[in-house]
Structure 1
Amino acid sequence: MAESFPVKPKLKPTASKNTLSPESKYWKSFKVLKEIDAVSKSSVFAITSLSFSPVAPHDLAATQCTNVIRFPGKTLIPKSKIASFPDTSASASFRCDGQLLAAGDLRGGVHVFEAKPTSLSKLKDLRRLKGHAAAARLVRYPRASDKFHLFSGGDDSVVKYWDIAEEKCLFSLFGHKDYVRCGDASPVSDEMFVSGSYDHKIKLWDVRVSSVGSVMELNHEKPVESVIYLPSGGLIATAGGNFVKIWDVIGGGRLLYSMESHNKTVTALCMGKVVRGNGDDAEQNRILSVSLDGYMKVFDYSKFKITHSMKFPEPLMSVAFSPDCSTRVIGTAKGTMYIGRRKAKVGTEKNSLGDQFGFGAVVDEPQRKVLRPSHFRYFHRGQNQKPLEGDYLIKRQKKVKLAVYDKLLNKFRHKEALVAALNGKNPSNVVAVMEELVARKKLLKCVSNLDGVELGLLMGFLQKCSTMPRYAGLLTKLAKKVVEMRADDIRSSVEQRNHIRNLKRDVEEELRVQQSLLEVQGIISPMLRIAGKR
């Protein structure tokens, strides 16, 4: 016997599903542990910058007011507070080995500290680099292996390249005409870095040819708030106004894409990763952007599309993503930090302990008795086994439940199936049955065989649902056919005449609504054309 399936409506529009995509599930898995006020509950100072150490356990540094706060990577509970700044701190940056931490202040100084002080006496500056005539808003170490240099940018429009050991400025790089507020070091070369300014320009610098000025200049067309290198080193992302733009610096500074998804100024960018198991595409890079509109957006620059969006209750000022892909931190204009962490998989902690002490992965598995064919459980083994990450799970097919009208359709009792659906009073099911009868070329025959009570059910349904847009295409044509075929029955019944009167009234009202909408469309269309030309 052939398997039976329930009928489904074809005219019902596909509703937008609220199911999350795998990408959204990944970013939702970063659970907000707590809202941390970095200084005090009454603090209203913005978290101006966030930076993770490149070395495990990836400590976090945040700048707020005159402080640089260090958060241990394991607990993310504020451990030490560097509060020796003479003015507001900005732009914390870890050295490539995670041993030193540098930050600027609004008096133009660049401070170098030990990243993990062992006592309060070591919170003093190891180096204090003086040279900017205005606030030093940009401080960055090279990314790869250079431990002796850093570069800075200030509101004096100058970019400086420093020798930390000698406390000496090696180069003063001129070219910007307004505040230098952001920059980033190249991931492939310690001698190259990029800076962004409020003069709308992004400049690429190479210290090997510092005498010729910048090696490339890009125009963002808005004051530049953030600029980052993408992992390949051949692309950069810039943020200014409500735009995020992707540039190909190897291709001569060609603009690849301009994303306008925020409603207010984009304040910070950082690189993030999507981790999905094992394989060639296990890790995929993403650009994370935050804005004063309170949104964090995740941008897949390989496909040029937004893959996830998250709303926060405050204007956002800074964002950082840990190198081990376990922590995402967002700083706000009101001093709140939103820290999201992913749950570690079972066995991760034990394996990390094994790696630490050099005896490999630690796996505690209870020893189970070997099953033999003489045991009853031998023939039922594996039934309750939970699937592993790489297993294919084959689910048992659910038994199909057929409604009354489905069973009648399977028995070719067409009129009774239509009446059963009408009695169910579910428009979707009624339309589904009607469509099935149309496919079988039996609908009009069923209509002609309805008695007075059954015809009343049909007329009531047509009067109620014929003006619904999702069903109008089928039901208006059917209503016309019913009036033509059963005109004598309708005239002889007061109830049927009432249904026809109500149906006529509803159709006239729907026509008036459609006419009004067309008039509104006629008014708006020319205005949209004019706006598009501008």
Structure 2
Amino acid sequence: MQNTFIPLNIRRFQQRAQVETPDTVYWDRLAKPELLKEHNTIDYLDFSPSDPDNFVVTCSVRVQIYNLVTKLVVKNLSRFQKTAYGATFRQDGRLLAAGDEEGHVKLFDTTSRNILRLFKGHTAPVHRTFFTADKLQLASFGDDRSVRLWDVANEKVVQTYEDTHTDYIRAGAMHPQAGHMFVSGGYDGKINLYDTRAEKAVQHTLDHGAPVESMLFLPNGSIFVSAGGSQVRVWDLISGCRLLTMMSQHHKTVTCLRLGSDGKRLLSGGLDRHVKIYDVSTYKTVHTLTYPNAVVSMAVAGKDQAVVAGMVDGLVSIRRMIVDSKPSHLKKIRAERTRGHFKDLTRPTPHQEVDHTIKDRVNWSGLKTYDKQLRAFNHKRALDNAMNTQRMANHPEVLVAVITDLLHRKSLDKALTDRRDATLVRFIDFICKHVSETRFMRPLMMAASTVLEVFERRLVAYSPKLMRALERLSSAMQEEVRLTTELMRLKGAMDMLIGVSMDNGEVAHKPTYVETKTPRMQPSQAAEKYVVFVE
């Protein structure tokens, strides 16, 4: 008798694969983040040009230089009475400048931790300091709405640009080649271009449209970028500071900008917990990095060795680039061996005589353990195998596929009956964790309903641990009901807007909505049933 058992189809629950591009392959080589914890918001991050393994972290009253490999503090520059801001290295990595809340700018020797210069003149906090391209001068941008240019050698102010902005100046950038040109961005939404050689202080004034948080020049110096609000704007310096393009990939404030891949990629971090990576030739998003909290500062090591992000809660995330040490020819040999291993051995050679050929031979030894248990109708063992801790964490679609098959067999209730509380708690927690995912929602709603039916038949008292798990399930179901209600309200509002626009002749074709009728339980029904049961 022919056996018609078909293994579980896991692919139907797997997420759709993203289109693989060279950029996704490249940036996916960033390792899992290693975290450092500071006591306050990470104001600024910068990598040392001379020693790419060292980066400086500006946080609260401390400026600390960390080693990228050991994650230990190499130098602690704690010469601040009040909050320090924007510590940045000079192009040769030998000097480091930082502003503070008192309006001072301090210049440090990175080899000895000594204060070499103390620049006084600002009457409000100085948030950003940058060295000019010739390394001889230092620009500071303050909350007193002034920009000052300092001579590093004699500790004197060279030029002062006052009242060029009507609000705090929190962003600036120096031209990478011409030491006499730089830009400033203020919270008044204005961008000013300066040329120290000209009699007129400000050469151009541009409108970003939102408070400017960060600015930078591209390596050739002909284009500069500004970030503020939820937009990143690109300006062409050569054609009279014309707006080239505008990118609105963030849905919250963009706080920091950095260059990567030797200036071929632009990175922007924002309060939406994302870092967007753009191709500077097309200004299109090529990759996205996600972080656990709002990103307020960022730094990229040379040759993309690491991406370091500072967050609003004091976390510093370090993601180092993984170097592929396996030669490509070994991969090719391994692939050829794999292809040779799966050759069709049932096909006869030209000199071999056979009576008949067995087609579609099923290799039962290749079945997964849960498939073997399902084939033998051992439903509890199949569920136990799918509820492996590592498999539940890395491949939740396997357990959902087993649950779906047991629902079709009407055996899920039997597989959950006479179980220990720990097993039931793990099963309930899995439902609570994944019920909000669209791909899993329908089978997990049915599984929640089955859990209720199992508990309704039990006449024994439940343990406190199990009751807490049931309360978590109740909360998860109520949250799904609330979300469904909000989405239905939104759909109704959109339908009304579409109807009005159709009456005005603005829409040529009316969108059609197809409703699928199914006897299965809806999310709201399962949640209501559960709430009544718990109460």
On whether the aligned pair clears a TM of 0.5, the verdict is yes
In structure 2, the partner of 1:48 is 43
1:183 aligns with 2:179: no
- Equivalent-residue separation in structure 1 for 2:32 and 2:188 (angstroms): 37
**What CA deviation, in whole Å up to 9, does each residue of 1:222-270 have, x standing for no partner?**
0000111111211111111111111111111111111111111111111
1:194 aligns with 2:161: no
Kept in 2: contact 1:32–1:338 (CA 8 A): no
In structure 2, the partner of 1:227 is 215
Deviation at 1:33, TM superposition (A): 4.7
- Equivalent-residue separation in structure 2 for 1:150 and 1:322 (angstroms): 23
Deviation at 1:56, TM superposition (A): 3.1
Partner amino acid, structure 2, of 1:317: V
- Equivalent-residue separation in structure 1 for 2:271 and 2:326 (angstroms): 40
Partner amino acid, structure 1, of 2:122: H
In structure 1, the partner of 2:368 is none
**3-state secondary structure, aligned to 2:26:** helix
In structure 1, the partner of 2:21 is 21
Kept in 1: contact 2:260–2:303 (CA 8 A): no
Structure 1 vs Structure 2 CA RMSD: 3.4
**What CA deviation, in whole Å up to 9, does each residue of 1:291-319 have, x standing for no partner?**
11111111123112111112211111001
- Equivalent-residue separation in structure 2 for 1:207 and 1:103 (angstroms): 22
Partner amino acid, structure 2, of 1:22: P
Kept in 1: contact 2:213–2:228 (CA 8 A): yes
Partner amino acid, structure 1, of 2:330: K
In structure 1, the partner of 2:301 is 322
In structure 2, the partner of 1:286 is 265
Deviation at 1:393, TM superposition (A): 8.6
Picking from 99, 110, 113, the partner of 2:108 is 113
1:153 aligns with 2:141: yes
In structure 1, the partner of 2:258 is 270
> Where does 1:210-221 land on structure 2 (aligned, <5 Å)?
211-221=199-209
Deviation at 1:73, TM superposition (A): 4.7
Kept in 1: contact 2:64–2:76 (CA 8 A): yes
**3-state secondary structure, aligned to 1:32:** coil
Picking from 113, 120, 127, the partner of 2:117 is 127
In structure 2, the partner of 1:246 is 234
Change (3 A) 1:173 1:346: same
Question: Which structure has the bigger radius of gyration?
Answer: 1
Picking from 257, 273, 287, the partner of 2:245 is 257
Kept in 2: contact 1:57–1:72 (CA 8 A): no
Deviation at 1:25, TM superposition (A): 2.4
The alignment's TM-score, normalised by the length of structure 2, stands at 0.60
Kept in 2: contact 1:58–1:323 (CA 8 A): no
Kept in 1: contact 2:218–2:263 (CA 8 A): no
Percent identical pairs in the alignment equals 33
Partner amino acid, structure 1, of 2:26: Y
Picking from 300, 305, 315, the partner of 1:336 is 315
**What CA deviation, in whole Å up to 9, does each residue of 1:185-233 have, x standing for no partner?**
1112122111111111111112222x31112221101000011111121
1:80 aligns with 2:75: yes
Deviation at 1:46, TM superposition (A): 0.5
- Equivalent-residue separation in structure 2 for 1:99 and 1:520 (angstroms): 60
1:207 aligns with 2:202: no
Deviation at 1:526, TM superposition (A): 4.5
* Structure 2 stretches lacking a partner, 5+ long: 1-11, 347-490, 508-535
- Equivalent-residue separation in structure 1 for 2:54 and 2:47 (angstroms): 6
- Equivalent-residue separation in structure 2 for 1:33 and 1:53 (angstroms): 20
Kept in 1: contact 2:52–2:302 (CA 8 A): no
- Equivalent-residue separation in structure 1 for 2:100 and 2:495 (angstroms): 58
* Structure 1 stretches lacking a partner, 5+ long: 1-11, 118-122, 274-282, 349-383, 403-517
Kept in 1: contact 2:219–2:263 (CA 8 A): no
Kept in 2: contact 1:104–1:137 (CA 8 A): yes
